[in-house]
A and B are shown apart, each in its own frame.
Chain A
Amino acid sequence: MRVPSSAAHKPASHKQATALLFVLPFLIFYVLFLIYPGIQACYLSLTNSEITGQGRFIGLGNFAELMHDADFWGSVLHTGYFVLLTVVPNTLIGFFLALLVVRLKRLRLVVLAAFFLPYVLPVSVVTTAAIWILDANFGILNSLTGINISWFQDPLWAMPSVAAVTIWWTVGFNVLLFIAGLQSIPQEYYEAAALDGASGFRRFAHITCPLIWPVTTLVLVLQLILQFKIFDQVYLLTLGGPYNSTLVVLLYMYRQAFQQNRGGYGAAIALVLVVIITVAAIVQFRVLRASRAAT
């Protein structure tokens, strides 16, 4: 903050004070509860702090330990698997549903609400519905179809089931973005193409697909960042089991920091996840931009 030296600057300093008055309330909370803990997390990752107190500086000790921590690498792998099962399918299903919804006239708002409603529910409600419907013995899915799979207790099916629940919960958001994208495509393009005798499929392939690509890119990037942070659903549905088959990075961080009382180690895990997400998002963004330039 510059302090004006003479009375001539008074209006400027007055302006500065007014502006600070407007900015400060937000800034105090922002710095105190996000920026400062963010910096603190970097320092913590270099210590052996317990969650309840101060620890010793141990340099890169936590990261060295992480390198040889089989459970950690397992959790990275499982998170990657979850990302694979959700990001692209959730985007494609969202696009497909948006194509269906956008044709409607009178029914549009009602149908859109049906796809979007799960998104506004608390995650514990979503998982309650999943636990009940997919219950191995009494769930309506198994009892109506005669399938005999314990969806969340079978190591093979646990992660795909968590992914399916996640898609049911969050696809509405993607539908919304795709509808906005579809509506912003000028109707005249389709009319002109129809006059030229382009078939429905060709209109879809040569008008809809290229013009919706920016929205697709946005959805894919948002999805990638979001799904790497998977925690709630796994915590509520499987707690990482069976046999750690759904142990994801943030759940491992939660276990280490809040259950094993290893704050420093937990902070290190969180930092590695931030790096992974950042790198993945940048790579994905580059690839998507390159593929757009190629078409």
Chain B
Amino acid sequence: MRNQRVSVLSSLCTLLTVVMALAWIFPIYWIIVTSLKTEDQTIQLPPSLIPWPPNFDAFVYIFQNSPFVRWYANTIFVSVVVTFFSILFALMCAYALSRLEFSGKRLIYWSLLVGFMLPFHAVAVPLFMMMNQFNLVNTFAGLILPQIAIPLSVIVFKQFFDEVPRDFRDAALIDGAGNWRILFRIYLPLNWSITWAMAIVTFIATWNNFFWPLIVTNSTPMLTIPVGMTQVQSTYGVAFARLCATAVLASIPTAAAYILFQKRVTQGVMAAAGLK
């Protein structure tokens, strides 16, 4: 009797969970569906939940009437370069902080914690002035350079390197391996999963970055997707299918990265929050 009641309650809970999940995902579904409608269909009442046949006019219109492809290329380039160098430099710095003895080590580690607390917004004004002074506004360098140093990545990698048994390094040193080899042949392979996780999270964060690209670019060909899509949207007026089509295109890389590497993204997000 009691067990029956518990299992009914449990099923109800599961049902509630599924309903909540569907409600949470609905806006994303609704953007996709709207992007496949004609503009007339979008304002039809009652709205149709499954438009059939799908209509790709909105996508065709965007590709023909905005520099979306250019913005896509910009964003891919910026995100890949930032991810590669920020991970590489963070790995190197973390290795030194974890395993090498040198003066200034403690100072660097403490300054990382300060940098982690310092909000990027606080340095936006002087950073922009610096970029302006060196003529880096509206350039890839202006977009990329300030995003490369991520103190949090160094802190995370250092924590993982600290846990690698010291014997591994000592043995390699005796065999004549240099620090460079030790980092890339021992420490990196041992920590592949967290490195990938941080790389994917960095890629997503860079792709999504809105604040800095908004400030450092204003010429149409130099925009990234998150900033550029708002520019085309403001010229569309009431054209919801096109609005939603830009959103679908802008989301594909990060959504795909998450769906393909769900476990890695989870791991990266947790490590960045200080939980392993």
Partners in one complex: yes
CA distance A202 to B72 in the complex (A): 53
In the assembled complex, how far is the CB of residue B152 from the closest CB belonging to chain A, in whole angstroms? 12
Tell whether, in the assembled complex, residue B129 and residue A22 are in contact, meaning their CB atoms are under 8 Å apart: no
Chain B: minimal CB distance from A21 (Å): 8
| B259 close to A (CB within 8 Å) | yes
The reply to whether B115 and A35 form a contact with Cβ atoms under 8 Å apart is yes
Given contacts A121-B251, A124-B226, A180-B270, contact A103 B118 (CB under 8 A): no
A285 on interface, CB distance cutoff 8 Å: no
Which of B47, B250, B262 contacts A122 (CB under 8 A)?
A: B250
Residues of chain B lying within 8 A (CB to CB) of residue A103: 10, 13-14, 17
B92 touches A22 (CB 8 A): yes
Task: Count residues of B near A (Cβ-Cβ below 8 Å).
Answer: 98
A26 within 8 A of B: yes
**Distance of A53 from chain B, by nearest CB (Å):** 8
Task: State the Cβ distance, B90 to closest chain A Cβ, in Å.
Answer: 6
Query: In the assembly, what is the distance between CA of A133 and CA of B197, in Å?
Result: 33
Interface residue from B18, B118, B274 paired with A38 (Cβ < 8 Å): B118
Interface residues of B in 211-233 (CB under 8 A from A): 211, 214-215, 225-227, 229-230, 233
B146 within 8 A of A: yes
Q: Is A149's CB within 8 Å of the partner chain B?
A: no
> Chain A, 231-253, contact with B by CB distance < 8 Å: what is the 0/1 string?
11001100000000000001001
Q: Which of B23-31, B61-69, B163-171 contacts A (4 or more CB under 8 A)?
A: B23-31
Residues of A with C-beta under 8 A to B17: 100-101, 103-104, 107, 111
**Interface presence of B59 (CB below 8 A):** no
**How many chain A residues have a CB neighbour from B under 8 Å?**
86
Within 8 Å CB of A110, what residues of B?
Answer: 21
1/0 contact trace for A79-117 toward B, CB 8 Å?
000000000000000000100110110010111011111
Interface 9-residue window, one of A65-73, A205-213, A268-276: A268-276
- Among B28, B117, B130, point to the contact of A117 (Cβ < 8 A): B28
Across the interface, name the chain B residue whose C-beta is closest to A277. Answer: B119
- The yes or no answer to A77 lying at the interface (CB within 8 A) is no
Q: Which of B50-58, B94-102, B188-196 contacts A (4 or more CB under 8 A)?
A: B94-102
Question: Which residues of chain A are within 8 angstroms of B148 by Cβ–Cβ distance?
Answer: 29, 33
Q: Which residues of A contact B159 (CB under 8 A)?
A: none
Residue of B nearest to A226 (CB): B119
Known: A103-B14, A124-B229. A51 touches B129 (CB 8 A): yes
A138 CA / B226 CA spacing, docked (Å): 24
Task: Say if the beta carbon of B135 comes within 8 Å of chain A.
Answer: no
Contact with A along B229-258 (1 / 0, CB 8 A): 110010000101001101100110011011
Most chain A CB atoms below 10 A, which of B18, B21, B22, B88: B21
Inter-subunit contact A129/B96 (CB<8 Å):
no
How far does the alpha carbon of A120 sit from the alpha carbon of B127 in the complex, in Å?
Answer: 26
Interface flag for B74 (CB, 8 Å) = no
Q: A122-B250, A132-B243, A277-B119 are in contact. List 10 more A-B contacts (CB 8 A).
A: A1-B104, A26-B90, A34-B151, A111-B18, A114-B22, A120-B257, A125-B226, A125-B251, A128-B233, A132-B244
The 9 tightest CB contacts between A and B, nearest first, are A19-B102, A22-B96, A37-B123, A26-B93, A40-B126, A30-B149, A29-B149, A114-B21, A26-B89
